[in-house]
Structure 1
Amino acid sequence: MAVTMADITKLRKMTGAGMMDCKNALNEANGDFDGAMEIIRKRGQAIAAKREDREASEGCVLAATKGDFAAIVALKCETDFVAQNKDFVALTQSILDAALENKPADLEALKALTIDGRSIADLIVDRSGVTGEKMELGFYEFVQAPSTIFYIHPGNKLATIVGFNLPEVEYQVARDVAMQVAAMNPISVSRDEVPADVVAKELEIAKDKARQEGKKEEMLDKIAQGRINKFFQESTLLEQAFVKEPKESIQQYLKSHNKDLTVTAFKRITLNAE
């Protein structure tokens, strides 16, 4: 049967595939929509398998909040050209929406969620068939707290989410903290949350440096402790200097707005080289 422009447009809307891909699939399936969709899906699976060893270093990172839940997702691809495509960004957004609605526990649970009857994992394979590039859901992170905020850096390569201990936080204050996380990349909220192995490693580095500087062995522990305090000030969110007002820490900034306010958790995802 003859394939009409209306048929091609309908299939394109259903699959996101290009006009010629839809036309060819419909012709091959003799106008059967289910058959044409299966042809497009198989093409995506073949491309995904063929490009398995390729590096997906580009992509789109989006974040959002819904009440006490905030999430970040990163859909990865091979080139920035594809990453900036509106359909690719729209797919990333739909995955994020599904995460906000269903609150999956981890990345695999997110992949298993369905959108319009198709699993997210299958939708990504389908999109790979459309673009001809390897694609993967690279990251998924979330926080739950009495109040949450998100920040997406221009270009959709970096995003952060932050949770606070109080249900109502002034928007600009919350956004400032989310931007601080984006700019300064802290390793934890406070020094108490820094893994013990990281602290031990930093102490050893500090001692070695002091030795190289010719410091006496009996002074090394004291010197190392001073340097680990500096490490905490540079690397933990609450102790970091506020980028907008370096004379005060993030903790001081929060307390200046509400003495009970603090950060409970944050997540940061970036596709940028750092």
Structure 2
Amino acid sequence: MADVSLADIKALRERLGTGMVDTKNALVEAEGDFEKAVEILRLKGAKGNAKRADRSTSEGLIAAVESATATTMIELACETDFVAKSDKFVALGNVVLQALADSGAETLEAALAVHSDGKSLAAVIDDEAAILGEKVELRRVVRIPGDKFSVYLHRTNKDLPPQVGVVLSYTGDDAETARSIAQHISFADPQYLTRDDIPAADVENERRIVEEISRGEGKPEAALPKIVEGRVNAYLKQVALLEQDYARDNKLTISRVLTDAKIGVTGFARFKVGA
């Protein structure tokens, strides 16, 4: 049996983030050879990846990086907050994010096929999941083009990496107002920029639902059209950014705030871990 010291075990654990017992056993099996121990731990973890495939990933991080012409944002998910706040998981997020920013990938399928250090990101993530001992997945990626950006990353827990992220591309010179709009988006969660961007099918479905609700409430038939229209407009204000009331002053709409600041929104995205 190889003579494995506590210092060796500590060094390998710090490198990989693995458990004490697994690390010691791998070093013993590898007769003290660090690289062989790493391979043993990866192979052991890879076998567990398949078993973890159906597990839910409700924790993780949001990360974003800007370039001159676009900003890329990702959601990297895992099973527990313990892994989410680990240095190894955060480092994996940085590797994935930078590879995607460099590649220009815009879809999840394209993102997973991007290569980093000779391996696809899908393989890189699987390898790290094997070491971390949890299911890890790249859940979402978005690339927002533009010339000017405001990126807002929000921590819902000081011990965790950002759990909410917003990328806002804009025109104009008021960076402070642009940031406040990004913060508003993180709170208000709009789905579209304008009411015209909302699919007609979604509007009609909402109209059908509120009409059914209004009838069920016993509203007068003659008043139904006005009531339904009012409720549909309330829905449009909820999901379209420019229609929303400004979080910092609900007497103003976002459209009015942008006009006063002489800036325009050309695109945005909002991610929340697990949502």
Counting aligned pairs with the same residue, the percent is 36
- The whole-number CA distance in structure 2 between the counterparts of 1:6 and 1:144 is 48
Q: Is 1:52 equivalent to 2:22 in the alignment?
A: no
- Equivalent in the alignment of 2:265: 263
Q: Is 1:152 equivalent to 2:156 in the alignment?
A: no
Three-state SS of the structure 2 residue aligned to 1:180 is helix
Would the alpha carbon gap of residues 24 and 120 (structure 1) be closer, same or farther in structure 2, given more than 3 Å must change?
Answer: farther
- Equivalent in the alignment of 1:85: 86
Three-state SS of the structure 2 residue aligned to 1:52 is coil
- Equivalent in the alignment of 1:69: 70
Q: 2:169 aligns with which of 142, 160, 163?
A: 163
Q: Deviations over 1:47-83 (max 9, x none)?
A: 1112112211111122232223112211111111111
**Aligned residues of 2:105 and 2:143 also touching (Cα < 8 A):** no
1:1-274 paired onto structure 2 within 5 Å: 24-25=25-26, 28-29=29-30, 35-154=36-155, 155=157, 156-164=162-170, 166=171, 168-258=172-262, 261-271=263-273
Q: Give the deviation of 1:268 after TM superposition.
A: 1.3
Would the alpha carbon gap of residues 246 and 54 (structure 1) be closer, same or farther in structure 2, given more than 3 Å must change?
Answer: same
- The whole-number CA distance in structure 2 between the counterparts of 1:272 and 1:119 is 24
- Residue segments in structure 1 that go unaligned for 5+ positions in a row: none
Q: Give the deviation of 1:193 after TM superposition.
A: 0.7
- What is the root-mean-square deviation of aligned Cα atoms in Å? 2.8
Could you tell me the TM-score, scaled by structure 2's length?
0.84
- The whole-number CA distance in structure 1 between the counterparts of 2:36 and 2:109 is 28
- The whole-number CA distance in structure 2 between the counterparts of 1:189 and 1:43 is 47
Could you tell me the TM-score, scaled by structure 1's length?
0.85
**Aligned residues of 1:47 and 1:128 also touching (Cα < 8 A):** no
More displaced 10-residue stretch of structure 1: 10-19 or 197-206: 10-19
- The whole-number CA distance in structure 2 between the counterparts of 1:213 and 1:31 is 74
Would the alpha carbon gap of residues 112 and 6 (structure 1) be closer, same or farther in structure 2, given more than 3 Å must change?
Answer: farther
Counterpart code for 1:125: D
- The whole-number CA distance in structure 1 between the counterparts of 2:266 and 2:82 is 37
- The whole-number CA distance in structure 2 between the counterparts of 1:272 and 1:112 is 23
Three-state SS of the structure 2 residue aligned to 1:268 is strand
Would the alpha carbon gap of residues 22 and 120 (structure 1) be closer, same or farther in structure 2, given more than 3 Å must change?
Answer: farther
Three-state SS of the structure 1 residue aligned to 2:75 is strand
- The whole-number CA distance in structure 1 between the counterparts of 2:79 and 2:129 is 10
- The whole-number CA distance in structure 2 between the counterparts of 1:233 and 1:17 is 49
Q: Give the deviation of 1:22 after TM superposition.
A: 5.7
- The whole-number CA distance in structure 2 between the counterparts of 1:271 and 1:113 is 22
Q: Give the deviation of 1:231 after TM superposition.
A: 1.8
Q: Give the deviation of 1:3 after TM superposition.
A: 7.4
- Residue segments in structure 2 that go unaligned for 5+ positions in a row: none
Q: Give the deviation of 1:199 after TM superposition.
A: 0.4
Q: Give the deviation of 1:200 after TM superposition.
A: 0.7
Would the alpha carbon gap of residues 149 and 68 (structure 1) be closer, same or farther in structure 2, given more than 3 Å must change?
Answer: farther
